[in-house]
Amino acid sequence: MRPMTLLRAWLRHPAGASAWPSQCLICRRWPAQTLCAECRARFAPQLTRCQRCALAVPAGVAVCGACLREPPPMAQCLAAVSWQWPWSMCIGRWKFEGDTGLSGPLAALLQATPGVAEALAAAELLLPMPMSDQRLAERGYNPALLLARRLAPGRVQPGWLLRTRHTPPQRGLPRAERLRNVRGAFQVDPLAAGRLRGRRVLLVDDVMTTGASVREAAATLRAAGADPVGVLVLARTDEPTTH
Protein backbone atom coordinates (compact mmCIF):
# COMPACT_ATOMS: atom_id res chain seq x y z
CA MET A 1 0.00 0.00 0.00
CA ARG A 2 1.27 3.47 -0.85
CA PRO A 3 2.04 5.91 1.96
CA MET A 4 -0.83 8.24 1.07
CA THR A 5 -3.28 5.33 1.09
CA LEU A 6 -1.99 4.32 4.51
CA LEU A 7 -2.37 7.85 5.77
CA ARG A 8 -5.94 7.98 4.50
CA ALA A 9 -6.69 4.67 6.24
CA TRP A 10 -5.37 6.12 9.49
CA LEU A 11 -7.43 9.27 9.08
CA ARG A 12 -10.57 7.24 8.42
CA HIS A 13 -10.20 5.41 11.75
CA PRO A 14 -8.76 8.03 14.07
CA ALA A 15 -10.27 6.53 17.21
CA GLY A 16 -9.92 2.80 16.53
CA ALA A 17 -6.32 1.84 17.10
CA SER A 18 -7.12 -1.73 16.09
CA ALA A 19 -8.06 -0.54 12.64
CA TRP A 20 -4.69 1.07 12.13
CA PRO A 21 -2.34 -0.71 9.80
CA SER A 22 0.22 -2.85 11.58
CA GLN A 23 2.83 -5.41 10.75
CA CYS A 24 2.45 -9.17 11.13
CA LEU A 25 4.82 -10.31 13.83
CA ILE A 26 5.56 -13.55 12.00
CA CYS A 27 5.82 -12.82 8.25
CA ARG A 28 6.66 -9.12 8.73
CA ARG A 29 4.23 -8.07 6.02
CA TRP A 30 2.28 -4.93 6.48
CA PRO A 31 -0.31 -3.62 6.60
CA ALA A 32 -1.62 -6.76 8.25
CA GLN A 33 -3.06 -7.96 11.53
CA THR A 34 -0.50 -8.52 14.28
CA LEU A 35 -0.89 -12.25 13.61
CA CYS A 36 -2.13 -12.29 10.01
CA ALA A 37 -4.72 -14.75 8.71
CA GLU A 38 -2.21 -16.45 6.39
CA CYS A 39 0.25 -17.08 9.22
CA ARG A 40 -2.49 -18.38 11.51
CA ALA A 41 -3.67 -20.76 8.78
CA ARG A 42 -0.11 -21.89 8.05
CA PHE A 43 1.32 -22.22 11.55
CA ALA A 44 -1.73 -23.07 13.64
CA PRO A 45 -3.09 -26.22 12.01
CA GLN A 46 -5.95 -27.86 13.88
CA LEU A 47 -4.36 -31.00 15.29
CA THR A 48 -6.30 -33.82 16.88
CA ARG A 49 -5.58 -33.53 20.60
CA CYS A 50 -6.35 -35.67 23.64
CA GLN A 51 -9.59 -34.32 25.15
CA ARG A 52 -8.22 -34.57 28.67
CA CYS A 53 -4.65 -33.24 28.34
CA ALA A 54 -4.43 -31.69 24.83
CA LEU A 55 -1.50 -33.86 23.77
CA ALA A 56 -1.37 -34.19 19.98
CA VAL A 57 -2.69 -37.65 19.07
CA PRO A 58 -3.42 -39.45 15.77
CA ALA A 59 -6.70 -38.59 14.02
CA GLY A 60 -9.63 -40.51 15.47
CA VAL A 61 -8.10 -40.85 18.96
CA ALA A 62 -10.10 -39.12 21.72
CA VAL A 63 -8.02 -39.74 24.83
CA CYS A 64 -4.31 -40.53 25.08
CA GLY A 65 -2.96 -43.64 26.77
CA ALA A 66 -1.65 -41.78 29.82
CA CYS A 67 -5.08 -40.23 30.48
CA LEU A 68 -6.79 -43.61 29.96
CA ARG A 69 -4.47 -45.18 32.55
CA GLU A 70 -4.89 -42.39 35.04
CA PRO A 71 -7.65 -39.88 34.24
CA PRO A 72 -6.45 -36.35 35.06
CA PRO A 73 -8.46 -34.04 37.36
CA MET A 74 -9.46 -31.81 34.45
CA ALA A 75 -12.46 -32.95 32.44
CA GLN A 76 -11.24 -31.22 29.32
CA CYS A 77 -8.10 -29.50 28.06
CA LEU A 78 -7.90 -27.39 24.90
CA ALA A 79 -4.73 -25.95 23.35
CA ALA A 80 -4.52 -23.54 20.43
CA VAL A 81 -1.05 -24.37 19.12
CA SER A 82 2.05 -26.47 19.67
CA TRP A 83 4.92 -24.86 21.55
CA GLN A 84 7.27 -24.29 18.63
CA TRP A 85 8.26 -21.48 16.28
CA PRO A 86 6.62 -19.05 15.54
CA TRP A 87 4.43 -19.33 18.63
CA SER A 88 7.36 -19.70 20.98
CA MET A 89 8.64 -16.37 19.63
CA CYS A 90 5.24 -14.61 19.85
CA ILE A 91 4.39 -15.95 23.30
CA GLY A 92 7.94 -15.28 24.49
CA ARG A 93 7.60 -11.60 23.55
CA TRP A 94 4.23 -11.40 25.26
CA LYS A 95 5.21 -13.33 28.35
CA PHE A 96 8.79 -12.34 29.00
CA GLU A 97 9.42 -9.08 27.13
CA GLY A 98 6.43 -7.04 28.23
CA ASP A 99 4.66 -6.93 24.84
CA THR A 100 1.22 -7.06 26.47
CA GLY A 101 -0.37 -5.69 23.26
CA LEU A 102 -0.25 -9.29 22.04
CA SER A 103 -2.89 -10.34 24.59
CA GLY A 104 -5.73 -9.58 22.14
CA PRO A 105 -4.32 -11.37 19.07
CA LEU A 106 -3.27 -14.39 21.18
CA ALA A 107 -6.67 -14.57 22.87
CA ALA A 108 -8.28 -14.47 19.40
CA LEU A 109 -6.07 -17.38 18.36
CA LEU A 110 -7.29 -19.39 21.35
CA GLN A 111 -10.93 -18.37 20.77
CA ALA A 112 -10.73 -19.66 17.18
CA THR A 113 -9.68 -23.13 18.39
CA PRO A 114 -12.46 -25.73 17.98
CA GLY A 115 -14.30 -26.31 21.27
CA VAL A 116 -13.08 -23.14 22.98
CA ALA A 117 -16.18 -21.03 22.28
CA GLU A 118 -18.39 -23.81 23.71
CA ALA A 119 -16.15 -24.22 26.75
CA LEU A 120 -16.24 -20.46 27.38
CA ALA A 121 -20.01 -20.34 26.98
CA ALA A 122 -20.44 -23.14 29.52
CA ALA A 123 -18.00 -21.80 32.13
CA GLU A 124 -19.23 -19.80 35.11
CA LEU A 125 -15.77 -18.76 36.23
CA LEU A 126 -12.34 -18.36 34.67
CA LEU A 127 -9.33 -18.65 36.93
CA PRO A 128 -5.88 -17.76 35.60
CA MET A 129 -2.99 -20.00 36.61
CA PRO A 130 -1.50 -17.96 39.44
CA MET A 131 2.14 -16.98 39.67
CA SER A 132 4.11 -16.94 42.87
CA ASP A 133 4.61 -13.50 44.40
CA GLN A 134 8.30 -13.82 43.59
CA ARG A 135 7.72 -14.43 39.89
CA LEU A 136 5.01 -11.77 39.69
CA ALA A 137 7.43 -9.28 41.20
CA GLU A 138 10.09 -10.23 38.63
CA ARG A 139 7.76 -10.02 35.65
CA GLY A 140 5.29 -7.35 36.73
CA TYR A 141 2.18 -9.02 35.27
CA ASN A 142 0.56 -12.42 34.93
CA PRO A 143 0.07 -13.25 31.21
CA ALA A 144 -2.55 -15.89 32.07
CA LEU A 145 -4.65 -13.19 33.76
CA LEU A 146 -4.40 -10.90 30.72
CA LEU A 147 -5.51 -13.80 28.55
CA ALA A 148 -8.43 -14.77 30.80
CA ARG A 149 -9.69 -11.18 30.87
CA ARG A 150 -9.74 -11.10 27.08
CA LEU A 151 -11.57 -14.42 26.88
CA ALA A 152 -14.39 -13.69 29.31
CA PRO A 153 -14.35 -10.22 30.82
CA GLY A 154 -16.48 -10.15 33.95
CA ARG A 155 -16.12 -13.83 34.78
CA VAL A 156 -12.47 -13.83 35.87
CA GLN A 157 -11.52 -14.31 39.52
CA PRO A 158 -7.79 -13.71 39.74
CA GLY A 159 -7.44 -14.11 43.50
CA TRP A 160 -9.34 -17.32 44.16
CA LEU A 161 -6.60 -19.78 43.25
CA LEU A 162 -3.31 -18.96 44.92
CA ARG A 163 0.17 -20.22 44.30
CA THR A 164 1.40 -20.47 47.83
CA ARG A 165 4.82 -21.84 47.01
CA HIS A 166 7.37 -20.75 44.43
CA THR A 167 8.40 -23.67 42.23
CA PRO A 168 11.42 -23.76 39.92
CA PRO A 169 10.81 -24.22 36.17
CA GLN A 170 9.69 -27.79 35.53
CA ARG A 171 11.14 -28.38 32.12
CA GLY A 172 13.88 -30.97 31.92
CA LEU A 173 13.27 -32.33 35.40
CA PRO A 174 12.58 -36.02 35.91
CA ARG A 175 8.98 -37.04 36.44
CA ALA A 176 9.21 -37.75 40.14
CA GLU A 177 10.86 -34.40 40.77
CA ARG A 178 8.18 -32.51 38.82
CA LEU A 179 5.46 -34.07 40.90
CA ARG A 180 7.31 -33.37 44.14
CA ASN A 181 7.90 -29.76 43.11
CA VAL A 182 4.27 -28.87 42.55
CA ARG A 183 2.68 -30.90 45.33
CA GLY A 184 0.81 -28.50 47.58
CA ALA A 185 1.92 -25.50 45.49
CA PHE A 186 -1.66 -24.21 45.13
CA GLN A 187 -4.44 -23.31 47.53
CA VAL A 188 -7.91 -21.89 47.15
CA ASP A 189 -8.38 -18.63 49.02
CA PRO A 190 -10.31 -19.66 52.14
CA LEU A 191 -12.76 -16.80 51.52
CA ALA A 192 -13.58 -18.19 48.05
CA ALA A 193 -13.64 -21.89 48.91
CA GLY A 194 -17.39 -22.14 49.48
CA ARG A 195 -18.07 -20.22 46.29
CA LEU A 196 -16.38 -22.80 44.06
CA ARG A 197 -18.60 -25.70 45.07
CA GLY A 198 -20.51 -27.02 42.06
CA ARG A 199 -19.26 -24.24 39.80
CA ARG A 200 -18.13 -24.82 36.22
CA VAL A 201 -14.59 -23.52 36.13
CA LEU A 202 -12.02 -22.99 33.40
CA LEU A 203 -8.39 -22.72 34.35
CA VAL A 204 -6.45 -20.53 31.89
CA ASP A 205 -2.72 -20.80 31.27
CA ASP A 206 -0.30 -19.57 28.63
CA VAL A 207 2.01 -22.52 28.09
CA MET A 208 1.53 -26.08 29.26
CA THR A 209 4.82 -27.90 29.39
CA THR A 210 4.82 -31.00 31.54
CA GLY A 211 1.25 -30.52 32.70
CA ALA A 212 2.27 -31.18 36.30
CA SER A 213 1.32 -27.66 37.45
CA VAL A 214 -1.98 -27.64 35.57
CA ARG A 215 -2.91 -31.03 37.02
CA GLU A 216 -2.05 -29.96 40.54
CA ALA A 217 -4.02 -26.70 40.16
CA ALA A 218 -7.01 -28.54 38.66
CA ALA A 219 -6.89 -31.10 41.49
CA THR A 220 -6.87 -28.25 44.03
CA LEU A 221 -9.98 -26.73 42.42
CA ARG A 222 -11.72 -30.10 42.28
CA ALA A 223 -10.95 -30.64 45.96
CA ALA A 224 -12.67 -27.29 46.64
CA GLY A 225 -15.78 -28.59 44.88
CA ALA A 226 -15.44 -26.99 41.43
CA ASP A 227 -17.07 -29.30 38.90
CA PRO A 228 -16.14 -29.70 36.17
CA VAL A 229 -12.73 -28.09 35.83
CA GLY A 230 -11.58 -27.51 32.26
CA VAL A 231 -8.30 -26.07 31.05
CA LEU A 232 -7.52 -23.64 28.23
CA VAL A 233 -3.91 -23.10 27.19
CA LEU A 234 -2.42 -21.15 24.34
CA ALA A 235 0.43 -23.51 23.62
CA ARG A 236 1.18 -27.09 24.52
CA THR A 237 4.49 -28.91 24.26
CA ASP A 238 4.39 -32.24 22.51
CA GLU A 239 5.40 -34.28 25.54
CA PRO A 240 2.90 -36.39 27.48
CA THR A 241 1.57 -35.09 30.79
CA THR A 242 3.34 -36.10 33.95
CA HIS A 243 1.41 -38.78 35.75
* Number of amino acids touching Zn ion (CB under 5 A): 11
For Zn ion, the binding residues in 202-231 under the rule CB under 5 A are none
| Binder among 43, 44, 67, 103 for Zn ion (CB under 5 A) | 67
Work out whether 50 is an interface residue with Zn ion (CB under 5 A): yes
Q: Which of 193, 199, 111 has its CA nearest to residue 155?
A: 199
Q: Are strands 186-188 and 161-163 parallel, antiparallel or unpaired?
A: antiparallel
Q: Contact region for Zn ion (CB under 5 A) — 57-65, 101-109, 142-150, 181-189?
A: 57-65
Report the distance separating Cα 193 and Cα 34, nearest Å.
39
90 binds Zn ion (CB under 5 A): no
Q: Return the residue of 34, 43, 49, 64 that touches Zn ion, per CB under 5 A.
A: 64
39 binds Zn ion per the rule CB under 5 A: yes
Distance of closest approach, residue 131 Cβ to Zn ion, in angstroms: 25
Q: Which stretch binds Zn ion (CB under 5 A): 64-72, 123-131, 156-164, 216-224?
A: 64-72
Task: Tell me the C-alpha distance between 79 and 209, whole Å.
Answer: 11
- For residue 49, the cross-strand partners are 56
In three-state secondary structure terms, 241 is: coil
Residue 134 three-state SS: helix
Residues in the chain, how many?
243
Binding flag, residue 24, Zn ion (CB under 5 A): yes
Do 54 and 115 meet the contact criterion of CB atoms below 8 Å apart? no
52 binds Zn ion (CB under 5 A): yes
**Would you count residue 26 as binding Zn ion (CB under 5 A)?**
yes
Biggest alpha carbon–alpha carbon distance for the chain: 62
Contacts with Zn ion by CB under 5 A lie at 24, 26-27, 36, 39, 50, 52-53, 55, 64, 67
